[in-house]
Structure 1
Amino acid sequence: MNIFFTVLLFISLNAFSERLYNGIQLPSDWPPEQLDAASTDPMPVPYLECPPEIIPIDVGRQLFVDDFLIEQTSLVRTFHYPKKYHGNPVLKPKNSLEWTEGSGRGVAAPLSGAVLWDEEEQVFKLWYNAGWHGTICYATSKDGIEWARPKLDIVPDTNQVYPADLRPDSTTVVRDWWTENSAGKYKLFVREPGGLGGKGGRCFESPDGIHFGNSVLTGNMGDRSTIFYNPFRKKWVFSIRSAFRGRSRHYWESEDLMADNQWELDEENYRQGRWSPGQPVVWAGADALDLPDADIGLKPQLYNLDAVAYESIMLGFFQIWRGPNNNDCHGVPKVTELNFAYSRDGFHWDRPDRTTAIEASRTAGVWDRGYIQSVGGICTVRGDQLWFYYSGMEGDESIPKGMYANGATGIAVLRRDGFASMKTPDDKGSLITRPVLFSGKHLFVNADVPEGTLKVEMLDVDGNSIPPFVLENSHVFTGDSTVYEMTWDDGADLSVLAGKPVRFRFVLERGDLYSFWVSCDRTGRSDGYVAAGGPGFKDPKDTVGAASLVAEQKIR
């Protein structure tokens, strides 16, 4: 068996160009150029059709958002959705910068901007659009709910951080943990107003997230383009608005945000999804499983795609547009809403559930009536919860272009790792993983089993139990925890199995299993990524485990 796996590994390494942290082999032709711009079929996901023979799991909590890790199961995958915070909105327009002069269109909302945690300063930091096509402002918060607008020196006595002579449409701020340049600790991307083509983006860097300089231009792109960083591959990704299937996305990756991000743009080819070889490639759009709004009836389009590294995956928000067309809004905000998407290679997106994660209220007089948009960084990790900041607009039917009026910022909350759980369909079920490889010692789970039980045993690749980690020796977990260590009778840890292909068999009665991981110590650290961060996290990875729960309680 070991010789077989060695041969497979040798063949794979010679046939493919890059092996990822999870065992996925990328083809030498990357990013892929084969996607059909005209097809409305869901995006193919090659690593789900042909997963690795052995899956390394040292990076991050292992989520059950797809079947990548699952060999067989009698459990049922159940999807879960964030709940909107009862005190929304937490930021709304109130000063002269946030009210576009002469238009009545107030905005205090990121498009996409960012919300990030700073462990050193013990604050949340927010970059947001102030006014419609006005400027970029900065706010801070101790608890993520009450926000202060500090007076800065860019434009005296304001919290503006963007040069006074420039205007933003779409923005993204990223904390660059990977640079050795102290002047580039924060990166800012801005696409200025101006429709589909004819303009590039601007990339800036900053030592403090306030003073941005060293502006460089990119190739041309549409007006709701954004960026994100993929730390699994050490690549900056441009999520480029294009038009091959209505609003849609092209993809460009780069090792350096501040250099060599130039491409040509032919208007006709751009609209058809045909860019030249070596240029941005066709990436993502709405598909046949994205349903129209029942009252509007238009074919959905992909308005934006933001993403971030969360634990062992890239977590995406697809902003789905359902209309109406701009000229038909008459002061009512467009219906755009957010859907979760998941990627294990950073390019192909699996969207197994099309239930809207954060929906527009569609109700007159409500702050998030429409135009729901994601925020850079996607979510913060708040103890045993994930907080998703999002933008919404109430609109104003009494003024010109009132569909862009009364923009504010709110929060939706989900259990940590809570995108999907494996649930017992009746009273009892089990799940066996594919062969996995780890170097840690301690098995942890995120599970909700208040009235049931969870047990686990270790199997070899042929499905035989491995003593002493047999089911009869497994200590039973009953309760609800996002970080719980599973143990066996004799107290042995999993170090004796480190570096060997094995399987986990989970046996569950009346409950939900959200994730599992093997930690290097008893803190429960996952060494996976923590999105926009959160209390207790000193860097972009979870190196503290359960200590983050304590840190969260201190700021509540």
Structure 2
Amino acid sequence: MTEKESPYNGIVPPGVWPPQHIESDEALLPVPYLNNPPSVIPIDMGRQLFVDDFLIEHSTLCRVYHSAKPHEASPVLVPETELECNQGYCPVAAPFNDGVWYDPEDNRFKMWYHAGWFDGTALATSTDGLNWERPKLDVIPGTNAVVAPKASYQRDGCLVWLDHQAKPEVRFKMFLYFRWSQGQSGFVYTSPNGIHWNEHGQTSRCGDNSSFFYNPFRQQFVFSIRESWSYRARAYRESAEFGQAARWEDQQKVKWARTDRLDLPDPLVGDRPQLYDLNAVAYESILLGGLGIFYGPQNPVCAKIGRPKIIDLQLGFSRDGFHWHRPERSAFIACSRRWKDWNYGYIHAAGGLCLVVDDELWFYYGTFSGQGSNLKPGETGSFEQNNAMYAGGNTGLSTLRRDGFASMEANSKGGFLTTRPVVFSGKFLHVNIDNPMGMLKVEILDLKGQVIEPFSAENCQPVQTNRVKTRINWHGAKDLSPLTSRPVQFKFSLCSGKLYSFWVSPTASGASRGFLGAGGPRMSGVVDL
């Protein structure tokens, strides 16, 4: 293993990478690092989340997973312009993956989205993430389109990535899937500003709704390739270079992700669930996956009745960049399934997945109502996908407490959580805690389970608050510098509260050195420094 690939969290990748053990059946997919965690876990990078048992040696607390809540401003973008209204066939103004990012260079939220079904790729901007403007651009004069399709080309899926580490001229990267009379393919682009794009040719063969992301933990671009080896499923291809990641021989990609026997049919539909989408982003110390789970009906049925497919967004969590832990199979963001609702079905998470906005995570997504088409149910326009099932594409926004994917909770009787042995170089322990009517104390133990003075529960200043970042202090200790580079265990004693995360920061202000999804206001990039 090279220094560049050294494990930030102690998980040593297998000798064969990427792994090649994923089968096509319905068995549960393995997560090897949960069965064999490191003996000592480095925690210098990012807030440490309780989404699994990786960090936990003993606990009497109860883990609770949380879903995102729709923002009251949703939908934040609906079809209005001539381009979006699609001549009345299938009005759409929604990310079909595409991307929503915060750009610190001009302090704007930026949304790339599907404008008019199988029609445009457009850009909207915002200062607050709620009220969006459509700038008049020069790509297709008089519109906010950023790509001028070739004659007879119709766009399908797309993903846009803001690469903060890239040279200025290739700061933005895009995958865009086109269909035309003689075929279909993905194409890759780069741009200095997200408006004017340079095409770099076709990708290797992949299905529509393929996508990509950058994994900063491994410093690799990863293409999430849609395939059909398990109905709808995903293959994996990585490379340090964007252009190389977009092209592969068969032996350079491996089976990666699919649904399994814990994915149950929607009782109102009855079809076998399938993995429709898989997008990812680095958040704090983990790779966060947005999985679009398709419940049906199949395309011919939806076309006949003129209603969108049912797709919910679930989450997966990965600490090695390949294996996904999926502990919660209920929807993180659910389509309503209620006819005439703006979010009836067909959810697609935006590229970048989430933004950090003050104390919240914001999740943008496209969703379809099936409303507003001049096509009748069962009627098809000038091409196969021109059907009312793809009408009424809107942009939704849902929110979650920062780090709020899972909490470790205690009632009034109290409980405790002891971490596995960890090692750090920082000096200040911080937690994300909700216990205004309770109490939290922390003690630090050696590997024999003995308290390291003065870091005892008795010396710990009790915490009673509801904050996404609060510092833990002990009487008789300025900071944790005497413990740096020494394996220790934290023991959290909690009463009437919810513990979301902990981390040891090099600064008293609590910077985590972790990743921030698609960025956010008052952030200089996508790392918490």
Q: Give the TM-score category using the shorter length.
A: over 0.9
RMSD: 1.8
> Equivalents in 2 of 1:17, 1:391: separation in Å?
36
C-alpha distance after superposition, 1:495-534 (max 9, x if no partner): 1100111110000001000000000011110010000111
Partner secondary structure for residue 269 of structure 2: coil
* Contact preservation (8 Å) 2:179, 2:185: no
Deviation at 1:88, TM superposition (A): 1.3
The structure 2 residue matched to 1:124, chosen from 109, 127, 133, is 109
**Displacement, 1:120?**
2.7
Deviation at residue 216 of structure 1 after TM alignment? 2.5
Contact 2:221 2:245 in 1 (8 A): no
- Counterpart selection for 1:398 from 367, 376, 393: 376
What's 1:134 paired with?
A: 119
Q: 5+ residue gaps in structure 2?
A: 380-386
1:32-43 alignment, distance < 5 Å: 32-37=19-24, 39-43=25-29
Whole-Å separation in 2 of the counterparts to 1:384 and 1:392: 25
Structure 2 length-normalised TM: 0.94
Counterpart selection for 1:474 from 460, 481, 488? 460
Deviation per residue, 1:76-121 (Å, 9 max, x gap): 11111111112211001111111223x5200001111111112231
Q: How does 1:405-554 map to 2 (within 5 A)?
A: 405-425=391-411, 427-543=413-529
Asked if 1:152 corresponds to 2:130, the answer is no
Aligned to 1:311: 284
Residue deviations 1:333-357, cap 9 Å, x none? 1000100110001110000111111
Structure 2 Cα separation of the partners of residues 300 and 17 of structure 1: 38
SS state of the match for residue 159, structure 1? coil
After TM superposition, the score normalised by the length of structure 1 is 0.90
Are 1:247 and 2:232 counterparts? Answer: yes
- Secondary structure (helix, strand or coil) at the match of 2:465 reads strand
Could you say which residue in structure 2 is the equivalent of 1:279? Answer: 252
Partner residue in 2 for 1:71 = 57
Tell me if structure 2 keeps the 8 A contact 1:187–1:204. yes
Is it true that 1:300 corresponds to 2:278 in the alignment?
no
Structure 1 residues not aligned, in runs of 5+: 1-12, 265-275, 544-556
Secondary structure of 2:296's aligned partner: coil
1:108 has 2:83 as partner: no
Identity of aligned residues (%): 46
Q: Single out whichever of 296-305 and 424-433 deviates more from structure 2.
A: 424-433
Q: Secondary structure at the match of 1:124?
A: strand
Provide the rounded CA distance (Å) in 2 between the counterparts of 1:260 and 1:434.
36
Structure 1, residues 225-263: CA drift from partner, whole Å, max 9, x if none?
A: 011110111110111110011111111111111236433
Change over 3 Å in CA distance of 1:475–1:260 after alignment to 2: closer
1:222 & 1:367 partners in 2: Cα distance?
27
Task: Work out whether residues 368 and 393 of structure 1, in 8 Å CA contact, stay in contact via their aligned partners in 2.
Answer: yes
Give the whole-Å Cα distance in 1 for the aligned partners of 2:46 and 2:245.
32
Distance 1:214 1:438 in 2: 44
> Does residue 355 of structure 1 match 2:330?
yes
- Once the two structures are superposed, residues 420-474 of structure 1 have per-residue CA deviations (whole angstroms, 9 ceiling, x without a partner) of 0000155200000001010000000000001100000111112110001011000
Match of 1:234 in 2: 219
The alignment status of 1:29 with 2:16, answered yes or no, reads yes
Q: Could you tell me which residue of structure 2 aligns to residue 6 of structure 1?
A: none
Alignment of 1:165-204 (within 5 A): 165=150, 166-179=153-166, 181-193=167-179, 199-204=184-189
Q: Aligned AA for 2:27? A: D
Could you tell me which amino acid in structure 1 is paired with residue 211 of structure 2?
T
CA distance in 1, matches of 2:490, 2:306: 55
Counterpart CA distance in 2 for 1:321 and 1:260 is 26
Q: Determine helix, strand or coil for the equivalent of 2:53.
A: coil
- What is the letter of the counterpart of residue 208 of structure 2? D
Q: Which one-letter code corresponds to 2:140 in the other structure? A: V
The alignment partner of 1:450 has SS state of: coil
| Residue 58 (structure 1) aligns with | 44
Whether the aligned pair in 2 keeps the contact of 1:17 and 1:26 (CA below 8 Å) is: no
Equivalences, count = 514
Q: 2:340 aligns with which of 340, 349, 365?
A: 365
State the shift of 1:295 in Å.
1.1
Corresponding residue for residue 334 of structure 1: 309
Residue by residue over 1:170-197, the C-alpha shift from the partner in whole angstroms, topping out at 9 and shown as x without a partner, is: 1111111222x221011011122379x9
Secondary structure at the counterpart of residue 86 of structure 2: coil
Distance 1:121 1:355 in 2: 38
**Paired residue for 1:344?**
319
